[in-house]
Structure 1
């Protein structure tokens, strides 16, 4: 069934996330940081929790909780894709979210943690490290808001 969106968003987000994580894990030591610009480093860190390392020190149960949550959300998104076949931006947005969720769920299952490697900072303030899967989820969420604002304007 044509969902109105190509799988490109999901597949490309997953593939880019996976490929970059492989390169970083193979070429960086844990905690190693390499400057790229005056405000951006590549770094290898592991996140056992959720966004911003929420619950990272919870004792291990969070690995399976967030894995299960990712699977449930993924199934819900797939269901939504089939229900909203004519809404291209909506479907693309949730496809990005799905791709990001899959990328992080795979990390949790395979490694027991999420691999993060993008480190943006201003002076000594560092934003928590993240990865391409997180970017896909964030861009997808922003596109959902844009889609809803456009829908509200039309009605």
Structure 2
């Protein structure tokens, strides 16, 4: 397989994919730590050089502090600050709120039994990744917008696939809603960066996919016509 073609086909979409996966996983870890996990604070009593007693904050990881919180050793005191249920960016329409989604994006497929749903979603994600890789290879180095779209879809699919395989669910934290003062409310299903990438990529595919396929077919037709003309000239 030609290495130059591999680079021309996959380099840009893979870089975009890596950015999406990195941003998605980082924001999910932030949501888990800031919006879900109690944050322990532990300190121990120490004696200063002048003989005075003081409290020294333990600079350990959250996991280690949680273990200390369960059974603090002698001379160590702990307390846990449970984060707020949500963070309000804009009160009436944009919150950050931790949620665990065991269904598909935007809570689709919730009605399917979990014993079947999770293997199905993992299988569909793997097939989708394979389909995107094949489509990128078919496109080659042309159709920049469509390759960007497929890179977004690839990053989003793998980002959520990592969650499903490692956790058994997907972490969501972006909460869009309308809560006006006059009574009614509308809430969009909680989502994440990976979902956003898939939706944006899908929208670009819907808008530009047909145009790209048309250009590919036209180029193929023109190439076939050119080959036929060359063959005819050679025959005469």
- Check whether TM > 0.5: yes
**Which structure would you say has the larger Rg?**
2
Alignment root-mean-square deviation, CA: 2.1
- The equivalent position to 1:136 in structure 2, one of 176, 197, 200, is 197
Q: Which residue in the other structure is 1:46 paired with?
A: 100
- The equivalent position to 2:23 in structure 1, one of 8, 16, 20, is 16
Q: Which residue in the other structure is 2:54 paired with?
A: none
- The equivalent position to 2:169 in structure 1, one of 106, 110, 113, is 113
| Structure 2: stretches of 5+ with no match in the other structure | 1-5, 38-83, 180-184, 219-236
| Structure 1: stretches of 5+ with no match in the other structure | none
TM-score by length of 2: 0.61
Aligned residues: 155
After superposition, the C-alpha distances for 1:90-136 in whole angstroms (9 at most, x for unaligned) are 11111110100000111000110010000011112110000000000
Greater strand fraction, Structure 1 or Structure 2:
2
SS at match of 2:99: strand
SS at match of 2:100: strand
**Which fold has the larger relative contact order, with Cα–Cα distance below 8 Å and residues 6 or more apart in sequence?**
1
TM-score by length of 1: 0.90
